[in-house]
Amino acid sequence: MSEQLESGAPTFLDDYPKEAAVVKAALWSSFIALALGAVFGVIQALHRTNILRLIDSTDYYTVLTAHGVLMVVSFTIFFLVGLFTWATVRSFDRGVESIRYTWTWYGLMVAGTLMAVVAILGGFVPQTDISADVLFTFYAPMQAHPLFYGGLTIFVIGTWLAGADWFWSWRAWKAENPDERIPLQAFMVLTTMLMWYIATIGIAIAVVVFLLPWSLGIFDQINPLLTRTLFWFWGHPVVYFWLMPAYLLWYTVLPTISGGRLFSDPLARGVFVLFLLLSTPVGIHHQYVDPGIAEGFKVIAMTNTMFLLLPSLLTAFTVVASVEHGARQRGGTGLFGWLRALPWRDPAFTGMMLAGLMFAAGGFSGMINAGMNINYLIHNTIWVPGHFHLTVGTAVALTFMAATYWLWPQLTNRRLFSRPIALAQVVIWFVGMGLMSNAMHVMGLFGVPRRTAEPQYEGFEFVTSFGSITELRLQLAIGGTLLFISTVLFVSNIALSAGAPKLSGLGKPLSEPLSGAHDSPEILDNLKLWFGIAFVLVVLAYSLPLASIISRGGVLGPGVDPVPMIIEPLGATLEPLVASLQPLLGRLAAVVGGVGA
């Protein structure tokens, strides 16, 4: 029996119950991945700092792969599809065109995830030949079981179909509203998906044409540099695929929560167009130290990357200005005094603001990563995970969790189990990540490597300017543990909310922008134009480097042995060689013996 409230707006669940079920399912898939990813995360943090070793070091890469794939593929992208479904349905104010189709793409994504996760976890069971210890960066020569590549393929197909679902809604809406501007949230969804369609060309070719046939034994060898380059063709824009849902929340939800209105809809549209144009032709900046790619191509990638700072800085301005608008409407005054007027007791607000603050710090370490010369200072050190735990690990993850506190009651018609726990949770995440990421950045400057189970070398000391490596390790371990606790608090809070009584009127309408869509030129909504330009930019950035890689090494070569290597077949290969050499050795011995006599 639901408790009725007289006031308040209807929720998303009231208006679109079928769609709300899909959104909830997608978000739950995301949270399960987050919980599992957090378990593997804390195991790693304690293992490599030598504080608690629950696993054998030989299993470290299985744990690392599970952590990476569950967090940055499953957690982020399941959340994205749930959020984008909500945003599309909400902003077009119409249900999906076919709920069966919507469940189909969700089902494909779940099936793909299960296949990939089974392949990864198979690494813990030596009795099976299934393993995928290839890390999130799964390019050759690392080789996984075909189940892993098959799972990834099905997962990505699911995301393509999800995008088609949202474009389908747009088409139907446009037929009924030919003169309307695309609503802002839907615009963000559509531009993000156009970027995703371009970006996934790289990974689709890498997996379907090379890695999957290679793992099935159809090809003996593939060109490692080619698959690396195709991976990073996708591997950089995917970071914006994680980030764009967070941006959507910062632009369209955060201003309302802060009590204000979005400063400028046209600026927000411009930012998303810039991300569509610039996200993909930059992937080579992940390959600054790769031999086989000319320096000139790397300089072009660096230049494009620096242009990407522009939409991020525009976002910093627009989002903070919108929050300031809220603060001043709430009575805030002064140059900085308005900050006190903000709703800091609201976990959704505080979580998103802390996420944004961490993103500002991540912007700095990102600038270091992107600089072609200064990148050598930190390349392949633990600085790099320190950086992306600020960006995807906090700007994205903490925004998603904070936004869930705002969105979940509108999907379930139930209040959150505990707002104080939610507030503590976002603060614990911020503190935990502050410690862990700081330690990682500082250790990286001292040359401590990433992706290593036991970074303790015999007869070698990492020299620190102040403090000690032991102190930094402790900081990393405490930070990692706090992050794990924070994740447990988040998932339990959401799970326990299922026991809260049903209410009505929990809907929270979003405020209109101060400067609306009609203040911007209509060309911003010309998606065909932006898609075309984005495509041309990618062709310009990648055709020559890819042609050069293929002309030098061939499409399938020069090959290298797959990793992890299997020792037994090597013995079997050597046996006939030794047998064939035996008569020769016998004759040699006879000759030597004859000479000796």
Which residues form the interface with other proteins (CB under 8 A)?
256, 259, 261, 263, 289, 316-317, 320-321, 324-331, 334-336, 338-339, 343, 360, 363-364, 367-368, 373-374, 376-377, 379-380, 445, 447, 509, 511-512, 514-515
Considering the complex, what minimum distance in angstroms separates the CB of residue 254 from other proteins? 13
Considering the complex, what minimum distance in angstroms separates the CB of residue 518 from other proteins? 13
Catalytic one of 84, 149, 388, 531: 388
Nearer to other proteins, 509 or 571 (CB): 509
Judge whether 450 counts as a catalytic residue. yes
Nearer to other proteins, 181 or 379 (CB): 379
Catalytic one of 67, 269, 450, 473: 450
What sign does the dihedral 302-303-306-307 (CA atoms) show?
negative
Which residues on adjacent β-strands are paired with residue 502? Answer: 414
Residue 262: exposed, middle, or buried by beta-carbon count in 10 A (0-12, 13-18, 19+)? Answer: buried
Considering the complex, what minimum distance in angstroms separates the CB of residue 514 from other proteins? 4
Judge whether 552 counts as a catalytic residue. no
What sign does the dihedral 446-448-449-451 (CA atoms) show?
negative
Report cis status (omega within 30 of 0) of the bond before 141: yes
Catalytic one of 155, 240, 272, 430: 240
**CB contact at 8 A, 510 and 253:** yes
What's the rounded Cα separation, in Å, for the pair 240 and 246?
10
What's the rounded Cα separation, in Å, for the pair 23 and 1?
24
Considering the complex, what minimum distance in angstroms separates the CB of residue 184 from other proteins? 15
Judge whether 419 counts as a catalytic residue. no
Nearer to other proteins, 234 or 263 (CB): 263
Q: Which residue bears the tokens 């005094």?
A: 337
Considering the complex, what minimum distance in angstroms separates the CB of residue 563 from other proteins? 21
Judge whether 490 counts as a catalytic residue. no
Nearer to other proteins, 329 or 548 (CB): 329
Q: How far is CA 357 from CA 65, 268, 394, 405, 433, in A?
A: 28, 19, 9, 19, 12
Nearer to other proteins, 120 or 342 (CB): 342
Judge whether 387 counts as a catalytic residue. yes
Considering the complex, what minimum distance in angstroms separates the CB of residue 454 from other proteins? 19
DSSP codes joined into one string, 173-196: HHHH-TTSPPPHHHHHHHHHHHHH
**In the chain, how many H helices and how many E strands?**
22, 0
What's the rounded Cα separation, in Å, for the pair 59 and 302?
36
Considering the complex, what minimum distance in angstroms separates the CB of residue 317 from other proteins? 6
Q: How far is CA 326 from CA 190, 332, 400, in A?
A: 28, 9, 21
Cβ-based neighbours of 138, under 8 Å, separated by 6 or more: 132, 144, 148, 152, 211, 231
Considering the complex, what minimum distance in angstroms separates the CB of residue 510 from other proteins? 8
Catalytic one of 328, 415, 419, 451: 451
Nearer to other proteins, 133 or 324 (CB): 324
Catalytic one of 389, 414, 441, 473: 389
Judge whether 236 counts as a catalytic residue. yes
Nearer to other proteins, 328 or 415 (CB): 328
Considering the complex, what minimum distance in angstroms separates the CB of residue 46 from other proteins? 28
What's the rounded Cα separation, in Å, for the pair 267 and 261?
14
Nearer to other proteins, 124 or 462 (CB): 462
Nearer to other proteins, 80 or 423 (CB): 423
Cβ-based neighbours of 482, under 8 Å, separated by 6 or more: 428, 429, 431, 432, 435, 436
Q: Could you tell me the two tokens for 294?
A: 């000319």
* CA-derived radius of gyration, the chain: 26
- Helix, strand or coil, per DSSP, at residue 506: coil
What's the rounded Cα separation, in Å, for the pair 215 and 126?
18
Residue of 195, 316, 206, 203 lying closest to 254 (CA atoms): 316
Q: Could you tell me the two tokens for 436?
A: 């862990």
Q: How far is CA 133 from CA 150, 155, 236, 262, in A?
A: 15, 19, 21, 44
Nearer to other proteins, 217 or 509 (CB): 509
Nearer to other proteins, 118 or 321 (CB): 321
Considering the complex, what minimum distance in angstroms separates the CB of residue 296 from other proteins? 19
Judge whether 124 counts as a catalytic residue. no
Considering the complex, what minimum distance in angstroms separates the CB of residue 3 from other proteins? 21
How would you label 54-66 residue by residue, b for 16+ Cβ within 10 Å and e otherwise?
ebeeebbbbbbbb
Catalytic one of 145, 387, 414, 441: 387
What's the rounded Cα separation, in Å, for the pair 105 and 108?
5
Q: Which residue bears the tokens 């064939």?
A: 580
DSSP codes joined into one string, 89-153: HHHHTS--S-HHHHHHHHHHHHHHHHHHHHHHHGGG-TTSS------SS--TTB---HHHHHHHH
Which residues participate in catalysis according to the annotation?
236, 240, 387-389, 450-451
